[in-house]
């Protein structure tokens, strides 16, 4: 569904996806369940002289999550991006910014998976987060700014074109994705089969444990797998999406093997400390040093893999730019 309004000729108003409203409502419900569960637990277990202070503390935590949900709901109803004639207007919940494309001195294309656009004038700047809008709107915004801003003022287009712009142009909501031999089709029913049994297991286990040990807070056991199921299910498009098999991705498989080996070595070294009668330094110092070394090696390995992937993307971006320009020529 395209969630923008055309109020008049030459004016387009783009609004946030309905996902923001749904997430905010789910957040309110979750915060309410948390508040009720914590209050019942405090009244059952906490000493009478501490109940009020603990309820206030728990209430502040639940209020924090509820505030985030409220902000998302306000964003859904009030945040918009308007392109009106020669103006780009970004309306936030509290602030409003207007930029004239003719005065934009720098446009930076952010080639993250979700995609973003940074606009700068001599006196102001703003960032457009493309993930906030439906795919059709994202493509329209990209094509408009690409055509309106002089090319010398644009940075990072090649990589952005490869990772964001060209996939948006290729996207067809009606087409069913067809995986290759080294790919797998992820659909919502797949997450149902994988995670709903775990939700049922945690539900039954939580009820039995709460009854057996008289601990009401164990009734919240299925919340975590339920949140995981909802997030995975509704982040997957209705028609499904294609993902590369782990067995076919040599870099990811090598990285996971490396992480597993590092974790095993870390656990072995920690357990080996128990057999040292008089270590030269305290056990906590050794654990801290091992943790720092482990994280440093993992970050180094991650940086090398990201650097190699970035190089491959840059090489592939040349062909993507040519395909994009060929598409522009065919539509003119």
pLDDT tens digits for range 145-189: 999 899 999 999 999 999 999 989 988 777 777 777 777 888 888
| 45 phi/psi in degrees, rounded to 5 | -115, -35
> Kind of pairing, strands 183-186 and 241-244?
antiparallel
Residue appearing with tokens 């309110």:
28
Residue 1: its pLDDT value, please?
Answer: 40
pLDDT in tens, 276-312: 667 676 767 777 777 788 788 878 888 888 888 888 8
How many whole angstroms separate alpha carbon 8 and alpha carbon 84?
A: 9
């Amino acid at each position: 569904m395209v969630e923008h309004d055309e109020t008049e000729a030459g004016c387009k108003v783009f609004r946030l996806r309905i996902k923001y409203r749904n997430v905010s409502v789910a957040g309110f419900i979750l915060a309410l369940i948390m508040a009720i569960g914590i209050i019942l637990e405090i009244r059952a277990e906490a000493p009478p002289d501490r109940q009020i202070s603990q309820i206030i503390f728990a209430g502040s935590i639940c209020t924090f999550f509820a505030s985030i949900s409220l902000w998302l709901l306000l964003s859904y109803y009030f945040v918009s991006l308007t392109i009106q004639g020669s103006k780009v207007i970004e309306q936030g919940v509290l602030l409003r910014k207007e930029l004239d494309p003719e005065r934009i001195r720098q446009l930076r294309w952010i080639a993250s998976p979700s995609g973003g656009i940074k606009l700068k004038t001599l006196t102001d700047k703003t960032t457009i987060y493309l993930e906030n809008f439906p795919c059709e709107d994202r493509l329209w915004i990209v094509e408009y700014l690409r055509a309106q801003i002089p090319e010398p003022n644009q940075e990072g287009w090649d990589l952005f074109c490869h990772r964001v712009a060209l996939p948006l142009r290729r996207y067809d909501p009606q087409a069913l994705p067809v995986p290759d031999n080294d790919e797998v089709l992820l659909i919502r029913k797949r997450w149902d089969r994988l995670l709903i049994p775990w939700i049922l297991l945690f539900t039954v286990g939580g009820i039995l444990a709460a009854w057996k040990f008289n601990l009401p807070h164990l009734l919240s056991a299925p919340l975590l797998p339920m949140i995981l199921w909802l997030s995975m299910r509704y982040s997957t498009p209705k028609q499904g999406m294609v993902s590369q098999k782990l067995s076919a991705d040599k870099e990811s498989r090598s990285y996971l093997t490396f992480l597993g080996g590092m974790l095993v070595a870390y656990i072995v070294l920690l357990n080996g400390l128990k057999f040292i009668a008089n270590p030269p330094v305290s056990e906590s110092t050794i654990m801290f040093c091992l943790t720092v070394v482990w994280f440093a090696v993992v970050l180094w390995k991650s940086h090398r893999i990201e650097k190699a992937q970035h190089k491959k993307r840059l090489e592939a971006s040349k062909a993507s730019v040519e395909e994009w320009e060929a598409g522009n020529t065919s539509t003119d």
